[in-house]
Amino acid sequence: MSDRIHTLSGYFHEYQKSVTEPEQFWARVADSFHWKKRWDKVLEWDFEGPDVKWFVNGKLNITENILERHLFIMGDRPAIIWEPNDPEEEGRTLTYKQLYHAVCQFSNALKSKGIGKGDKVIIYMPMVPEAAVAMLACARIGAVHSVVFAGFSSNALSDRINDCEAKAVLTSDGNFRGSKKIAVKAVVDEALEKTSTVESVIVYQRTKQEVTMKEGRDYWWHDVIDGQPDTNEAEVMDSEDMLFILYTSGSTGKPKGVVHTTGGYMVYTKYSFENVFQYSPGDVYWCTADIGWITGHSYIVYGPLLAGATSIMFEGVPTYPDAGRFWAVVDKYQVNQFYTAPTAIRALEAHGTGPIEPYKLDSLKVLGSVGEPINEEAWHWYHTHIGKNRCPIVDTWWQTETGGIMVSPLAGVTPTKPAYATLPLPGVQLAIVDPEGKVLKGNSVEGNLCIKFPWPGMIRTTYGDHERCKQTYFSTYKGMYFTGDGVKRDHDGYYRILGRVDDVINVSGHRMGTAEVENAINEHPKVIESAVVGYPHEVKGQGIYAYVICDMKNRTEENLKGEIKDTISKIIGPIAKPDKIQIVPGLPKTRSGKIMRRILRKVAEGSMDNMGDTSTLLDPGVVEEIIKGRVE
């Protein structure tokens, strides 16, 4: 049974129901899933705690709703189509039946290594079908997966392993990315020197490069599955049992482990997937994200597979072997729904329309955007050149913490407006608040975006530190979840997301805490102090601008900047490398020692004419120096 909305009036009707009778509304949606035991109560909640429970005492296994559920009627339908990095290499297709057996077999393999319910498993893998198999196998046996983007450094990896006390790491020998071959296992080895909880490492062979295997700890994927039965009894899970932890950056230094649970996340990802993309059985859907991010979790793996969809998994990058790769893949598999990030659109736009010309793109029905605000120009380019003025664009706003899409048009149902995420999904009750916490009523208002009622896919806690969850999301505005984003509701009641209002920057759709980057910079022995801000960047959305006070003895500016970039790569990963580094004699601080970031942002943006009030600065002269040395 599908809960798909087909008309705008249908949307308004459903939305209304979801607000006036939320429990009946979600019970109806949840009823279409397979539960081993039905829930006793739909919802219990308190945003003070916060303490939110959906489908209380319901028992289920999410993978039965992906695998067994689709086995008999459509076992031969492709579940995952894998397109490798190199277009010359043959792709792979896993039907629902094959996926079922692969997941069962790997579940048995994990169990044979002593991994079971409640254990934490890190997945640090390239974009190969086995990464999805790994996630689902964890879910099947009740282990909690935590996928770490395979571009993160060994330091970032060991921090995450330590934070969740992982018992196992699933990885690969290497990773193909564009023209590069990246050592992956070697990074794991380095990370494991700083951890003590990992008992086994399972290595999928992808690149066949040389790796070291530690006796009694490291095993090849093909060896551990060898001889394992390809059926497996799924573990009985409670609705509120942890499904996964995904680490994400916030405004404080350390990334936090966002916790999602089983029942609500299942219901919400499938419901939002089907409605936003208007997925029909037989369609081919492609989301270009990496499974290391929430988009990959909810809209490559869980949402589409719960809906019985065919989901493409792409190992490569948009510009390899050329800037037409996305379009080649669209034509090759006759993709119907295509979901990517504004940064990719802008990067491809820079190559002009030449790379698009060889391709028809006539299978496309829906285009999606996610991860950052899409500017009007990129929206129009996408609409005209890729969608041929025929495909609706769904600009989907959501977060790691929300689990699924929150504000978005429903494709072909909701009239779109460039750069607007338009309207909330059923079940999503938004509030715009001013800095004092007053809820702004009516249209044509602007403020901070909050959510005032629970939705099934929401964050339950931050792993190991519930207080942090409360402080970060539920304390700024009493009784509401605070998103960290600014928003405008226009005269039509449409929502436009304006970007972060906290110290989080969004670089190519990747969330980065300024404090996290500063901490990494400060690890360099020559660095005395640093301050990082975001600035508008044509392709990346935001770029990273770092102001650094250094001890310049025995160093030139150039080699120091290079060393700082290397330090960041080592501590976080190459994605956090600043676009611009300015060595400064001092930072603009107030008398109480607080850095006035407003000034640093203005200089980074290049809007120096109106610096605002600088009278509270300890040394206003420093601003002049900073302006003089500004990096273009």
Best CA proximity match to 340, nearest among 377, 293, 306, 271: 293
Structure tokens at 461: 């806690």
- Cis bond before residue 281 (omega within 30° of 0): no
Q: Which of 95, 248, 262, 340 binds ligand WTA (CB under 6 A)?
A: 248
145 binds ligand WTA (CB under 6 A): no
Nearer to ligand WTA, 176 or 382 (CB): 382
Alpha-carbon distance 556 to 15, whole Å? 61
Nearer to ligand WTA, 43 or 345 (CB): 345
398 binds ligand WTA (CB under 6 A): yes
**Cβ at position 390, least distance to ligand WTA in Å:** 21
Q: Which of residues 31-70 bind ligand WTA (CB under 6 A)?
A: none
Nearer to ligand WTA, 55 or 481 (CB): 481
Please provide the DSSP assignment of 393-435 as one string: EEEEB--GGG-S--B-PPTTTSPP-TT--BSBPTT--EEEE-T
Q: Which of 255, 373, 426, 543 binds ligand WTA (CB under 6 A)?
A: 373
The alpha carbon of 275 is separated from its chain's Cα centroid by a whole number of angstroms, namely 20
397 binds ligand WTA (CB under 6 A): yes
Alpha-carbon distance 261 to 256, whole Å? 16
Contact criterion met (CB below 8 Å) for 228 and 105: yes
Among 118-126, 360-368, 371-379, 578-586, which window interacts with ligand WTA (CB under 6 A)?
371-379
Q: Which of 278, 295, 340, 567 binds ligand WTA (CB under 6 A)?
A: 295
**Cβ at position 189, least distance to ligand WTA in Å:** 28
Q: Which of 396, 422, 462, 582 binds ligand WTA (CB under 6 A)?
A: 396
395 binds ligand WTA (CB under 6 A): yes
Nearer to ligand WTA, 104 or 245 (CB): 245
Query: What count of other Cβ atoms lies within 10 Å of the Cβ of residue 61?
Result: 24
Q: Which of residues 412-441 bind ligand WTA (CB under 6 A)?
A: 421
Structure tokens at 208: 């066949």
Query: What count of other Cβ atoms lies within 10 Å of the Cβ of residue 566?
Result: 13
Nearer to ligand WTA, 232 or 295 (CB): 295
Alpha-carbon distance 218 to 212, whole Å? 9
Q: Residue 353: how many CA atoms within 13 Å on its side-chain side?
A: 11
262-277 vs 22-30: helix axis angle to the nearest 10? Answer: 90
Alpha-carbon distance 112 to 342, whole Å? 43
**Cβ at position 373, least distance to ligand WTA in Å:** 4
**Cβ at position 156, least distance to ligand WTA in Å:** 15
Q: What angle do CA 569, 571, 576 make, to 5 degrees?
A: 50
Number of residues that bind ligand WTA (CB under 6 A): 24
Alpha-carbon distance 302 to 311, whole Å? 10
Structure tokens at 385: 């050149």
Q: Which of 315, 372, 503, 518 binds ligand WTA (CB under 6 A)?
A: 372
Q: Which of 255, 308, 324, 371 binds ligand WTA (CB under 6 A)?
A: 371
Nearer to ligand WTA, 15 or 397 (CB): 397
Binding track, positions 450-489, relative to ligand WTA; x by CB under 6 A = ---------------------------------xxx----
**Cβ at position 53, least distance to ligand WTA in Å:** 23
Q: Which of 108, 506, 567, 582 binds ligand WTA (CB under 6 A)?
A: 506
Q: Which of 85, 262, 337, 400 binds ligand WTA (CB under 6 A)?
A: 400
Alpha-carbon distance 367 to 338, whole Å? 5
Best CA proximity match to 307, nearest among 338, 330, 281: 281
Nearer to ligand WTA, 60 or 419 (CB): 419
Q: Which of 103, 127, 147, 370 binds ligand WTA (CB under 6 A)?
A: 370
Alpha-carbon distance 53 to 46, whole Å? 9
Nearer to ligand WTA, 279 or 293 (CB): 293
Tokens 């896993």, residue located: 94
At 92 the three-state DSSP class reads: strand
399 binds ligand WTA (CB under 6 A): yes
Query: Exposed, middle or buried by CB within 10 Å (0-12, 13-18, 19+), for 261?
Result: buried
Among 200-208, 319-327, 497-505, 574-582, which window interacts with ligand WTA (CB under 6 A)?
497-505
Alpha-carbon distance 472 to 315, whole Å? 34
Among 24-32, 36-44, 214-222, 290-298, which window interacts with ligand WTA (CB under 6 A)?
290-298
Q: Which of 99, 497, 517, 584 binds ligand WTA (CB under 6 A)?
A: 497
Nearer to ligand WTA, 50 or 292 (CB): 292
Alpha-carbon distance 442 to 432, whole Å? 10
Q: Residues in the site for ligand WTA, rule: CB under 6 A?
A: 248, 293-295, 369-373, 395-400, 421, 483-485, 497, 499-500, 506, 511
